[in-house]
Amino acid sequence: MATFNQTSINPRQFHVRQLVFLSYLVPLAVIMILPIIYIFSTAFKPPDELFAYPPRFFVIKPTLINFQNLFRQTSQSGIPFSRYLFNSIVTTGIGVFLTVLVTSMSAFGLSKLKFKAKKPLFQINQYALMFVPIAVMIPRFLIIVNLGIFDTYLAHILPLLAMPVGLFLVKQFVDQIPEQLLEAAKVDGANEFQQYFHIVLPMTKPALATVAILAFQLFWNNDITSQLYINADDLKTISFFLSTITSGAGVAGAGMGAAASLLMFLPNIFFFIIIQNKVMDTMAHSGIK
């Protein structure tokens, strides 16, 4: 009989004890996947099914009319659809990269470097977890104006770089790196940057993958910046554009909104699928000391 290793996260051989876990996990997986199925189903519903009573979960007669109406509406805009898409790709790509960089460097400093303000700075990060985005909207606006980045790409990127949740997660991961490993690197002549680049970054890839997903969702779905901090239409993002063209379209707006929601959702799920293995490692090891 195959042996069952309780310390293995994903055992290679099947054991009857796994049925206990499956009895819990399968129903939870079904519940978790239902919203995704609903997003796909709603996007292909014709208008009569969208407003049917009682509401139907699954589409009966799938159609592409919602996507056709959406693309027809976007073609009537003065700014090309590709421009909004380009803005979102640029801001999301740069934002994700800088968020991972800033978060990882900050976690390394707060975890392994020695300086007087280390503890107060980490406590400030903990306090920042309590604030909802709407609570910092006015201070953020004043900072953007005073920095002179209003109506620029930096207004999309700079205010969202700080991620308290990501910093907390990555710091817990860096705390698990043995001090002896860094001391050995110092003996070999490695400076602090080399320790960060060659030791900390490779060993915190799972946590950084989680931060990358959170940052991707934050930047890709962000439409508040385009509403409050951007006046030029050619600097606004696709999330803002899709929300505006569907809001004032009457009955057809419901179908276009469903299609737009699916288009905004697909990059998120694709990005998650690409690096989901690293995310699973984060959840499995973040509490191990």
pTM: 0.81
- In the three-class reduction of DSSP (H, G, I as helix; E, B as strand; rest coil), residue 7 is classed as coil
Q: What is the mean pLDDT of the chain?
A: 83
**4-18, 221-235, 252-266: least confident range:** 4-18
Share of residues in the chain with pLDDT > 70 (%): 88
**26-40, 189-203, 242-256, 267-281: least confident range:** 242-256
- pLDDT, residue 288, reads 43
- pLDDT, residue 6, reads 47
Q: Any idea which residue has 């973040």 for tokens?
A: 286
Task: State the angle between helix axes of 164-175 and 81-112 in degrees (0 to 180), rounded to the nearest 10.
Answer: 40
- Taking 3-state DSSP, the helix, strand and coil percentages for the chain, each rounded to the nearest 5, stand at 70, 0, 30
**pLDDT band with cut points at 50, 70 and 90 for residue 5:** very low
**Among 262, 284, 280, 263, which Cα is nearest to 272's?**
280
Q: Is residue 186 a contact partner of residue 254, using CB atoms and an 8 Å limit?
A: no
Phi-psi sector, 61: left (phi>0), alpha (psi -120 to 50), beta: beta
CA 42 to each of CA 52, 238, 240, 249: distance values in angstroms, whole numbers, following the listed order: 12, 20, 21, 17
Q: Is residue 118 a contact partner of residue 110, using CB atoms and an 8 Å limit?
A: yes
- Does the domain at 81-244 match CATH 3.40.50.300? Answer given as no
**pLDDT band with cut points at 50, 70 and 90 for residue 14:** low
Distance CA(230)–CA(149), nearest Å, equals: 10
Asked if residue 220 has pLDDT above 70, the reply is yes
Task: State the angle between helix axes of 81-112 and 238-247 in degrees (0 to 180), rounded to the nearest 10.
Answer: 130
Stronger pLDDT, 18 or 130, i.e. the higher one? 130
Q: What is the pLDDT of residues 133-164, one digit of tens each?
A: 888 888 889 999 999 999 999 999 998 998 89
**119-123, 128-132, 151-155, 220-224: least confident range:** 128-132
- In the three-class reduction of DSSP (H, G, I as helix; E, B as strand; rest coil), residue 286 is classed as coil
Asked if residue 267 has pLDDT above 70, the reply is yes
Q: What is the pLDDT of residues 24-60, one digit of tens each?
A: 888 888 888 888 898 899 889 888 888 888 888 888 8
- How far, rounded to the nearest angstrom, does the alpha carbon of residue 9 sit from its chain's CA centroid? 25
- pLDDT, residue 4, reads 43
**Among 189, 204, 193, 242, which Cα is nearest to 220's?**
242
Q: What is the pLDDT of residues 86-127, one digit of tens each?
A: 999 999 999 999 999 999 999 999 998 888 888 898 888 888
Asked if residue 247 has pLDDT above 80, the reply is no
Q: List every span in the chain annotated with CATH 1.10.3720.10.
A: 81-244
- pLDDT, residue 1, reads 40
Burial grade of 247 (CB within 10 A; 0-12, 13-18, 19 or more)? exposed
- pLDDT, residue 215, reads 93
The two tokens of residue 87 are 């803005």
**Among 216, 236, 230, 219, which Cα is nearest to 80's?**
236
Distance CA(154)–CA(214), nearest Å, equals: 19
Stronger pLDDT, 246 or 222, i.e. the higher one? 222
Asked if residue 204 has pLDDT above 50, the reply is yes
Asked if residue 10 has pLDDT above 90, the reply is no
